[in-house]
Amino acid sequence: MSLAVGVFIGMFQGLCKSQDLPQSFESYDRFSDEAKEMLLSEAISMVGRLEKSLLTLGQSAGETSLFQQLRRRDYHSFGRDRVYNFLNFVLQDSYTSGMELRILNAAYTLLEDAEDKVAHQQEQDKEEAASIAAAFWREDKTADSQSASLFLLNTLEANLKIYTASPTLYVAPYVAVVGPSGIGKSFAVKELATKHQRYVVYINLSSVDSQGYPKRSGLANTIAGFSGLDIDTCGKAWKNLINLLRLEAKINHEVNISPHNFFYSQATDQGYMAGLASDLPDMEQFKTDMGEEILQNFEKARRERLLNHLPRDQMGSAAFFNITSTASLKCIICIDEARALLDAAGNNRVFRAFRHGARDVSDRDFFAVLLDTTSHVANFSPTALVDPSQKSVPKPVYIFEPIYSINTYDAFAESEPCVVDGTEETCRSIFKLGRPLWGAYLEHGLNLGQIQSLAGFKLGMESDPRYHLVLLAHRISFNVTNYNLADHMVAQCMRYIVHLSSDRSMLVTAMGSEPLLAFEAAARMADPSSRLRCLQGLSSAYGDGLINLGDVGEVVASLILLFSMDKTQIHLPKAVDLRSFFQALLGKKVADLITGKLGQDSPLKNLLENGMVYFNHFYRPCVAWSDMYPNHCIEKAFQRSAALFFPRNFPGADIGIPVYDPSRRKYSMLLIQVKNWKGGDKNSSFEKMTAHNSLEKARDHIEGLDDCFGLMMSLNANQPEKTGVAFCSESGRPSHPRRAKEERKRLFAVLSVGLSPGLYPSVCPDQSAELSQIFKCLCTLRDGDPFYRLGKYGPQTSRMVDNILDWQSDQVSRSFKRKASRSPSS
């Protein structure tokens, strides 16, 4: 029972020693525990009603401190008795009987309200659970040739064939399917049964209070009983369980229960699972080599129960009968949430015993699949084969390569995505992009608020030391170079696996372009203090060598652009005109000057005032380009609410922000080149010319790009008078010199120099202390390599680093000069 409930019960007991309870309060105990829990905040607010009377009481210092902390709701650190005694002290000395009754009646009213809220919440939870279940049992939307389930089935059959031919070379007949949450791992296994008609034994090891679907299996409790066994006995128990489950699948087939019904019963039918658990041998028998008599008794009990309990599926019986009878892979044993087999202490005994038990099963008609988000279920430690200190390599040494290529991305993408306009309808369209989890839930009853809450939960907990780095990772593409961090971001933070070596010594990951996750990350970065922690987390991870940012100048520029775009948003995503974005980025005065410098009849004026811009993250598409960057990338980026990092060595520009012109139904861009050279100067004609020519070159290398705007962000200036914004006049020229009569492509280029207070309003340090720190973080990233600048070095290490990175080059130069002065030729 919560402390708040204890507080109220104490209040009721203390108040009513000398009088009867109000008549209405006699039914207090009928309220549910959930309703009483709803009083958590109300209990403390009621204590607040005593504040005036406390001023007249002689309180001890301890009582005063207790009351103040109760008012701040910091009540979890206090014992129940202390709170109870304090409340009694206050109530007995300060209130009349009439006042006490009014407080009791107010508490009763709060309880009734809480009960109503609980009932409403329970109804909502029931509807949400039904929607989540419907999303799981949906039909696969991908084509057969591209379905993840077919790929998985083909891989399992190929692996079984290899294992059957050379069982001594492999650790066990199992493969791990790993990847982030929401990509459809469990769904693909379900499709093995429902679509491909294979018998799948499904065991879910999730925690009892898990909100996921399917729920924890009844067999999870049986497996939990293995944890106290030594590894040899545990391996024997696993072997027995696998043989019993193979037999269970065989019995279902023989009594004409289809693979679909078999899987459905395991995932949804508590009666089925309770019957299976009761028919299993006891734990003592699991520890022994099970004889034929035990297996026969199990088979008899199960056959009788199945014939009486489950409806038999006569439809299509010949099809699944033939598949099962002729296939070499007759049974698939799936363990979902398989990380439960890994011991937090590191000995992983249950996991190792599972592999021993699976290997010891003599029949080669099954294959095991372990599902989870962590790569540790592929192999909890690198194999002996790659250990150079090992003199001899024991057999078996190989494990089957983990499966991570679950190709379900954009499975729910709409054929014609909408331009986001701040309405729920258009947001639903873009929020379906990315992993299928979002689209499946939205199409099966969850509303926008529920899907946003789910996405926010998937971003991780603020208690995670890397939480703020994760938020930024959903908005800016960077490489994670540290294995442990990469594995953590896959398991807990939705990051995709791109490559995973079979020995788990190399893990390459990437963050997909998902507007929903980026939007929720932006919402959690809206507060300046949170934004500051994100930048500090980025700098710290970069300084520790955990991530690789690539061109740091590009990252600084993209952060400024993101914060400027965020400034234009209120609630749901809404595209703004290009002029409004320029105003958020460079200020109203600069936006007005850009408008004034454009000719009244210029096509660029229409693009400035009517072109639509919205992005909440950056990503770098892996596109093959030789001479022309494909135009469809611009359209796709706009539809994904994304801005682009251009490929390495792309001529003339580093960043592209898509702009949609609704009047012409065409896409344009704001092209951005980032320079981090020292000595930038807004007054330099050379720098203006360089900016214009570079941006024009970039435009000419993008397929189908006509009129557009360009911005060179030169992030460094030595002197204040060289900092600011300059304009390159609007220019136009034909796409080819020999086509003078062709309609001209127009470009308006802007040059911004420096990273000074006031140049970019979204990071202006004058507005708050947090913004001042944000500004300093951006300057630190811009000015040098944080691995050197931010590294946590001691004095001796700092001197060594200085010698390696700075002083040594001068020393070598002087040494060469001395040698040259002594040489005969000099």
What are the tens digits of pLDDT across the range 38-94?
A: 544 455 445 544 443 443 444 444 445 544 544 444 434 444 454 445 445 444 544
How many Å apart are CA 239 and CA 226, to the nearest integer?
12
Is pLDDT of 269 > 70? yes
pLDDT, tens digit, 9 for 90 and up, residues 567-620: 999 889 999 999 999 999 999 999 999 999 987 878 899 999 999 999 999 998
Residue 767 CA: distances (Å) to CA of 425, 570, 584, 764, 782 = 36, 19, 15, 7, 21
| Those residues with Cβ within 8 angstroms of residue 286's Cβ, 6 or more apart along the chain or in another chain | 225, 226, 236, 237, 240, 241
Strands (E), 456-495: 479-480
How many Å apart are CA 265 and CA 267, to the nearest integer?
6
How many Å apart are CA 392 and CA 239, to the nearest integer?
28
How many Å apart are CA 57 and CA 154, to the nearest integer?
78
Is the pTM higher than 0.75?
A: yes
pLDDT for 192 equals 96
Is pLDDT of 823 > 70? no
- Mean pLDDT, the chain, rounded, equals 80
Q: What percent of the chain has pLDDT over 70?
A: 73
Which residue has 């136009």 as its token pair?
A: 732
pLDDT for 627 equals 80
**Domain spans of the chain, in order of start:** 3-133, 137-381, 424-753, 795-826
How many Å apart are CA 821 and CA 126, to the nearest integer?
87
Give CA 632 to chain center in angstroms.
27
| Those residues with Cβ within 8 angstroms of residue 27's Cβ, 6 or more apart along the chain or in another chain | none
Most confident of 333-337, 345-349, 377-381, 770-774: 333-337
Q: What are phi and psi of 534, to 5 degrees?
A: -65, -45
Q: Is 704 exposed, middle or buried (0-12, 13-18, 19+ CB in 10 A)?
A: middle
pLDDT for 5 equals 42
Structure tokens at 663: 């009047």
Higher per-residue confidence, 217 vs 33: 217
pLDDT, tens digit, 9 for 90 and up, residues 118-148: 777 788 888 888 999 999 999 887 766 678 9
**Lowest mean pLDDT: which of 157-171, 192-206, 227-241, 597-611?**
597-611
pLDDT for 643 equals 96
How many Å apart are CA 494 and CA 336, to the nearest integer?
17
Q: Helix 603-610 and helix 588-597: axis angle, to 10°?
A: 150
Give CA 699 to chain center in angstroms.
35
Q: 411, 186 in Cβ contact below 8 A?
A: no
- Identify which of 548, 523, 524 has the alpha carbon closest to the alpha carbon of residue 538: 548
